[in-house]
């Protein structure tokens, strides 16, 4: 089961809001007058300049809210380490896990013998979970035997500055495959909603044309389209 | 010159987004299905329950962006102490202060003698600023003589959880009058955009019907309408 | 295996630092002079007053760093949701899980039949993990079959303001038992290091003498000693 | 009057705490065993490697608390924009400003004519402040006429990760002179307390040997000693 991601909310007219907020720092005019004077072309080139000069705080004024399903608790444990974000996640204390599945890593999917072992083990975990619940163990305690790859669901919100930071870390090929897949789908959706903001995003190989990792994968992305289509 | 505040951006359909994010914690369904099943009445009563039970994190998923003018640097120095927010503020390093004014406190406005002294002093400060600039002093150094009440402009963004916290502190009568006036205008605008989220907001006298300050003003607001119309 | 917690670092002379930081707000003197004038008795009563009046930001100046072992990834997934904190956690991508164990909930320990099922299931998970690794699956993918209760280790740092907030939430009887046990051990250690700061901490039943939860456990702690000795 | 900065608190044994926290991520051992095995040489080279590889989160576990005097409210308005920090600042609402002075920028000090104008203006501001207070205007309102350069005092705490970020921005020659002077004094003190952590800190010209600013000053620092002795 592949990760499903939807963009359920975002700040309308995001690029112009970022540009107006940035311009207020250097202008004697007010925000509303600045907004009125901003056309698309000016906005695009201005945002490019902002990013280049490292003036990133105006990108905080616009936010993007995603709903994700089909993602493992392995990945969400990593994900929620990004602290400049908001999360609402399905609780294993309150929701029975009877309808859930376990995420299967692609490396396991490709290996028949491993896949067989994996699926058998997952099934037994679920049987054990149910037996424990039948014995009177609470859901919140029975889940200790569930596989760490158990599917979860969550809603997450990041502003555009943090999203760009997230994409730079998590779209790197050295990132865990699952959170990388989440990031890829989030970026595709964010680009549709605010192309002027996310026209260039991802790890340093894509954004700066050169890998800045100490332990490089040595297989940099050629460009953003390659990264997004993989 | 009164503070002018405009709401220049906000998350569309904010109440339903908050409700859907909260519901995902307790439901086996995904966010999109939950969103589809949410009508206005259910949302209103559900949000009330969330606030009552202290489950506030879902309110972080929606954000509100305000542009403010006619506010002093006295007030913005306090304002930016709220760290769970984003700010873009007019720079005194880059923008010439020649067109700016000084905010006059109401207590000064009401006192003829004080007003006369105040305005004379402000005018002399501006003259000194200009003379210093004429003598080759940079704007960023000349501004040291400008009055602390000098007008500034900024764009600020807070999510609904932080906004509610901000309103609880800054709409209290013991708060500085200017930041309180800013908060009042922000709440009026936020209520228009998302009435289901901000139907009850402000200090404890308004929200809980009882003052929780150790040093009470002893003149609690009777209700929210009184607070907003003052 | 019980949670093991150690306090590996903390701000020396924490109570006086908090008091001096708070006093600088209301005093014409500098911090060093204020520090010199602070004896223990004055500090204790002053901190009590600060907490009572809700002036909590001075408590942010002092920090406490704990090392925890014998805690499940179930609990740490919850723990790291506290965003005003710093975490360094043992990685399942890089560290082989061969020496790890699974945390056993007390409810399972007390139930012979459940315990037997639980332990058998955990053992099989470990066998499957090893078989997957032997088949060439990477550690980071094989761990998907490991039980969610697998032991982890981490170092965490919180300042005293956030710690007090953490204790108020996580020492409540309605909190998950494991994170509650972590919080209890952290509070015992924090009290030894800075008794003036943590002389009164925990859920509202302990600190305010009345339960403020909407869904109360109806078995409030009688006092702090009871809570810490349980 | 020059800025006076003192380091009033810091995490003891900071370098080893950072190293132990980092090592727990990659090791099957617990934090206490790791701490015991760390000597100074290993720690220094390990921290260098951490910084180089961008694994910066372990530097959050140690904090440094500074008391600063003789700094203007111009500078502190900028300073408190760093949100990953804690501040306690002298209040102009509660503290009478009668004993305060105004910070004089070096460019004004060097220019006799400007200095004369500046000081006269400042004195008149103070006279006006006192007259307003005598007329019954509250301190919090009278301060609107005080010069923006009025001296203030504060206590601030940052962890080592944020401090390094602060130093990279604020020790750049393009930063405002006063906050740069504050940063310089903070770095000197931080290096004395934790030389292994702050052996290399500052803007990109110092740390990476190349300026990364879009609008460079074109006068990069030759090295860290030059920067600190200026």
| pLDDT of A197 | 96
- At D109, list the tokens: 């000090």
**Beta pairing partners, A66:** A7, A156
Cβ distance B69 to A30 less than 8 Å, yes or no, reads yes
| pLDDT of A98 | 65
- Is A87 near chain B, with CB under 8 Å? yes
| pLDDT of A39 | 87
Name the residue facing D8 among C22, C31, C96 (closest C-beta): C31
| pLDDT of C39 | 87
Cβ distance B118 to D176 less than 8 Å, yes or no, reads no
Q: What's the rounded Cα separation, in Å, for the pair B7 and B12?
A: 13
List, for chain A, all residue ranges whose pLDDT scores fall below the cut of 70: 1, 97-100
C78 Cα to chain B: minimum distance (Å): 13
Chain A CB contacts of C124 under 8 Å are 121, 124
Chain A CB contacts of D53 under 8 Å are 214-215
Question: Is pLDDT of D97 > 70?
Answer: no
Cβ distance B17 to A95 less than 8 Å, yes or no, reads no
Q: CA quadruple A219, A225, A227, A230: dihedral positive or negative?
A: negative
Q: What's the rounded Cα separation, in Å, for the pair C146 and C72?
A: 12
pLDDT in tens, D50-75: 998 889 999 999 999 999 999 999 99
Q: What's the rounded Cα separation, in Å, for the pair D61 and D25?
A: 14
What chains are in contact with B, requiring at least 3 Cβ pairs below 8 Å?
A, C, D
Q: Where are the domains positioned within chain B?
A: 4-87+152-203, 104-149
Q: Of D153, D154, D155, D150, which Cα lies nearest the Cα of D100?
A: D150
| pLDDT of B31 | 83
pLDDT in tens, C67-78: 999 999 999 999
CA distances from A207 to A18, A47, A186, A203, C59 (A): 20, 15, 17, 6, 41
Cβ distance C54 to B214 less than 8 Å, yes or no, reads yes
Chain C CB contacts of D26 under 8 Å are 91, 94-95
- Is B52 near chain C, with CB under 8 Å? yes
Chain B CB contacts of D121 under 8 Å are 124-125, 128, 145
Residue with tokens 């921290």: D47
- At C137, list the tokens: 């699956």
- Is A123 near chain C, with CB under 8 Å? no
pLDDT in tens, A16-40: 999 999 998 888 888 888 888 888 8
| pLDDT of D1 | 61
Q: Are A133 and A175 in contact (CB under 8 A)?
A: no
Q: What's the rounded Cα separation, in Å, for the pair D13 and D16?
A: 6
Q: What's the rounded Cα separation, in Å, for the pair D101 and D118?
A: 12
Q: What's the rounded Cα separation, in Å, for the pair C226 and C219?
A: 12
| pLDDT of B179 | 97
| pLDDT of C1 | 61
B3 Cα to chain C: minimum distance (Å): 27
Q: What's the rounded Cα separation, in Å, for the pair A175 and A75?
A: 11
| pLDDT of C93 | 75
Burial degree of B15 (CB within 10 A; 0-12, 13-18, 19+): buried
Choose from B58, B78, B214 for mutation: most chain C CBs within 10 A.
B214
Choose from D172, D174, D214 for mutation: most chain A CBs within 10 A.
D214
Choose from B46, B49, B52, B54 for mutation: most chain C CBs within 10 A.
B54
What is the pLDDT of chain D when averaged over all its residues? Answer: 93
| pLDDT of A115 | 97
pLDDT in tens, D160-202: 999 999 999 999 999 999 999 999 999 999 999 999 999 999 9
- Is C53 near chain B, with CB under 8 Å? yes
Per-residue pLDDT for chain B (230 aa), expressed as one digit of tens each?
A: 689 999 999 999 999 999 999 998 888 888 888 888 888 888 999 999 999 888 999 999 999 999 999 999 999 999 999 999 999 999 877 777 666 689 999 999 999 999 999 999 999 999 999 999 999 999 999 999 999 999 999 999 999 999 999 999 999 999 999 999 999 999 999 999 999 999 999 999 999 999 988 889 999 999 999 999 97
Residue with tokens 């009850």: B200
Q: CA quadruple A25, A29, A31, A36: dihedral positive or negative?
A: negative
| pLDDT of D33 | 86
Chain C CB contacts of A81 under 8 Å are 80, 87
What is the pLDDT of chain A when averaged over all its residues? Answer: 93
Nearest residue in chain C measured CA to CA from B51: C214
**Class of the CATH domain delimited by D4-87+152-202:** alpha beta
Quickly count: other Cβ atoms within 10 Å of residue B40's Cβ: 10
pTM over 0.90? The answer is: yes
- Is C112 near chain B, with CB under 8 Å? no
Task: Exactly one of B16, B73, B143, B170 is catalytic; name it.
Answer: B170
Name the residue facing C81 among A80, A105, A147 (closest C-beta): A80
Q: Are B140 and B93 in contact (CB under 8 A)?
A: yes
Q: Are C143 and D70 in contact (CB under 8 A)?
A: no
Nearest residue in chain B measured CA to CA from C53: B214
Choose from A141, A143, A155 for mutation: most chain C CBs within 10 A.
A141
Q: CA quadruple B71, B72, B76, B79: dihedral positive or negative?
A: negative
Burial degree of B116 (CB within 10 A; 0-12, 13-18, 19+): exposed
- Is C8 near chain D, with CB under 8 Å? yes
- Is D83 near chain A, with CB under 8 Å? no
| pLDDT of D100 | 67
Name the residue facing B128 among D77, D103, D121 (closest C-beta): D121
D198 Cα to chain C: minimum distance (Å): 19
| pLDDT of B1 | 61
* Mean pLDDT in consecutive groups of 10 residues from the start of chain C, 230 residues: 91 96 86 86 92 93 97 95 95 71 95 97 95 96 96 96 97 95 98 95 93 89 90
CATH architecture of B4-87+152-203: 2-Layer Sandwich (3.30)
- DSSP reduced 3-state for A142: helix
Task: Exactly one of A16, A170, A180, A184 is catalytic; name it.
Answer: A170
| pLDDT of D215 | 85
Which positions ≥6 away from A134 have C-beta within 8 Å? none
Q: What's the rounded Cα separation, in Å, for the pair B165 and A146?
A: 38
């Amino acid at each position: 089961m592949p990760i499903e991601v939807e963009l359920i909310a975002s700040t309308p007219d995001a690029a112009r809001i970022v540009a107006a907020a940035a311009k207020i720092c250097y202008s004697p005019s007010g925000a509303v007058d600045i907004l009125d004077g901003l056309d698309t072309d000016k906005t695009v080139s201005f945002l490019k300049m902002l990013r280049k000069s490292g003036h990133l705080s105006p990108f905080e004024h616009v936010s993007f809210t995603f709903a994700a399903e089909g993602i493992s608790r392995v990945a969400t444990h990593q994900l929620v380490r990004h602290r400049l974000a908001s999360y609402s996640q399905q609780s294993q204390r309150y929701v029975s896990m009877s309808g859930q599945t376990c995420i299967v890593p692609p490396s396991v999917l490709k290996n028949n013998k491993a896949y067989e072992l994996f699926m058998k083990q997952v099934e037994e975990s679920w049987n054990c979970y149910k037996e424990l619940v039948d014995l009177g163990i609470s859901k919140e305690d029975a889940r200790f035997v569930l596989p760490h790859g158990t599917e979860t669901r969550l809603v997450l919100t990041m502003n555009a500055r943090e999203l760009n930071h997230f994409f730079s870390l998590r779209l790197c090929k050295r990132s865990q495959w699952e959170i990388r897949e989440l990031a890829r789908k989030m970026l595709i959706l964010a680009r549709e909603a605010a192309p002027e903001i996310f026209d260039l995003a991802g790890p340093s190989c894509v954004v700066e044309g050169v890998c800045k990792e100490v332990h490089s994968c040595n297989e940099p992305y050629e460009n953003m389209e390659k990264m997004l289509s993989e």
